[in-house]
Amino acid sequence: MTVPASFRAFRIHSEGGHRAGIETLALDDLAPGEVVVKAAYSSVNYKDALAGTGTGKILRRFPMVGGIDVAGHVVASSDPRFREGDAVLCTGSGLSETRDGGYSEFVRLEAKWTIPLPAGLTLREAMVLGTAGFTAGLSLLRMEHNGQSPDQGPVVVTGATGGVGMLAIDILTRAGYEAHAISGKPEHAGFLRGIGAREIFPRDTLANATRPLENARWAGAIDNVGDPALAALTRVIQPYGNIASCGLAGGPGLATTVMPFIIRGVSLLGIASAGTARGQREQVWERLAGPWKPAHLDAIGTRETALDGLPEVFPAMLAGGSFGRTVVRF
């Protein structure tokens, strides 16, 4: 297949104030890369909503095509590892931050960050997962590399009704863990149980965990919230348990003590999914396509939109009104 002379993309500008929308581009308008992909699907993440509305300083240069995820088929490649027709995906890796992203009918990618679609996933499933699923999978991978195992006890997920939270619950359950959920949306408790949460706790569950050490309740945690939930989690994790910190919906601060770390041996693991090295990136995707593949991707992928629908999706996500994962269909 040849790349057409022009195609549509969702592009973000800053000159004269923030503006974003659908534009007609040519391939040479995009950041350089060895692999040209005809996009099939992308997804909407919190970072995309911040960039698309100008609410957060995500982009490092302008103008730029938005979208931190993309999956599709190779139409041209100067790298011998990729051939025309190959199904591939890319998440993070500078997309919609330092280089043009996935909200484009055709995308130019760096070969070093382009991942062959693993057997066991469709392109759409890969984007229901997207950066959210990759982040959840990377969290568990790092926890297990640090000794976490199902026989230690349940792992709790904060921000459980967000994309990362839902996928983390499903992934944990598939990996043999007992998953617990903390959520401020009690109306979705039935859904969380349906995707594997064994127990569900209200948002204020951790509010009284203020002493340097509290009674240990969970063997580990995947935290999407940040302070004050993350600080409280350090006080209630069992000895030698792990906390994967992968979000800051509640705030970027962290007010705790060293007591959990030097008395209980608790480990706090930072999850920086965007810049994950390729080897570890491939390990995560192999597991997400295999033994950790969420069993409820169709239920978690609650919405599809075309490029034109992005301006409606972003504000709802920033206002906390979205539920599940939104897939962008080309």
Whether 163 has a pLDDT exceeding 80, the answer reads yes
Whether 310 has a pLDDT exceeding 80, the answer reads yes
Q: Which of 85, 77, 78, 82 is nearest to 115 (CA)?
A: 82
Q: What whole-number distance in Å separates Cα of residue 8 and Cα of residue 11?
A: 9
Q: Per residue in 260-275, pLDDT tens? A: 999 999 999 999 999 8
Number of separate helices (H) and strands (E) present in the chain: 9, 16
What was the pLDDT predicted at 321?
77
Which residue has 């240069």 as its token pair? 61
Question: Long-range contacts for 254-262 (Cβ within 8 Å, ≥24 apart)?
Answer: 254/226, 254/227, 254/230, 255/227, 255/228, 255/231, 256/230, 256/231, 257/212, 259/212, 259/213, 259/235, 260/212, 260/213, 260/234, 260/235, 261/234
Which residue has 């594997």 as its token pair? 196
> For the whole model, what pTM was predicted?
0.97
Tell me the torsion sign for CA atoms 65, 68, 72, 78: positive
Count CA atoms within 13 Å of residue 130 on its CB side: 28
What was the pLDDT predicted at 301?
95
With 0-12 / 13-18 / 19 or more C-beta atoms within 10 angstroms meaning exposed / middle / buried, residue 83 is: exposed
Confidence of residue 1 (pLDDT cuts 50, 70, 90): confident
Q: What whole-number distance in Å separates Cα of residue 114 and Cα of residue 99?
A: 14
Q: What whole-number distance in Å separates Cα of residue 5 and Cα of residue 10?
A: 17
CA angle 247, 250, 254 (to 5 degrees): 80
What was the pLDDT predicted at 249?
85
Mean pLDDT computed over every residue of the chain: 96
Whether 101 has a pLDDT exceeding 90, the answer reads yes
What was the pLDDT predicted at 323?
87
Output the DSSP codes for 184-198. S-GGGHHHHHHTTEE
Whether 6 has a pLDDT exceeding 80, the answer reads yes
What was the pLDDT predicted at 63?
97
Give the contacts of 272 (CB within 8 A, at least 6 positions apart): none
What would the two tokens of residue 176 be?
A: 């043999």
Q: Per residue in 27-71, pLDDT tens? A: 999 999 999 999 999 999 999 999 999 998 899 999 999 999 999
Which residue has 């991707």 as its token pair? 297
Q: What whole-number distance in Å separates Cα of residue 128 and Cα of residue 202?
A: 26
Q: Per residue in 123-154, pLDDT tens? A: 999 999 999 999 999 999 999 999 999 999 99
Cβ proximity of 203 and 159 under 8 Å = no
Confidence of residue 250 (pLDDT cuts 50, 70, 90): confident
Cβ proximity of 235 and 213 under 8 Å = yes
Query: What domains lie within the chain, and their CATH numbers?
Result: 7-117+297-329 (3.90.180.10), 132-273 (3.40.50.720)
Tell me the torsion sign for CA atoms 31, 33, 35, 41: negative
Give the contacts of 17 (CB within 8 A, at least 6 positions apart): none
For the segment 188-211, the average pLDDT, to the nearest whole number, is 96
Q: What whole-number distance in Å separates Cα of residue 244 and Cα of residue 305?
A: 31
What was the pLDDT predicted at 66?
98
Q: What whole-number distance in Å separates Cα of residue 52 and Cα of residue 43?
A: 13
What would the two tokens of residue 125 be?
A: 């499933």
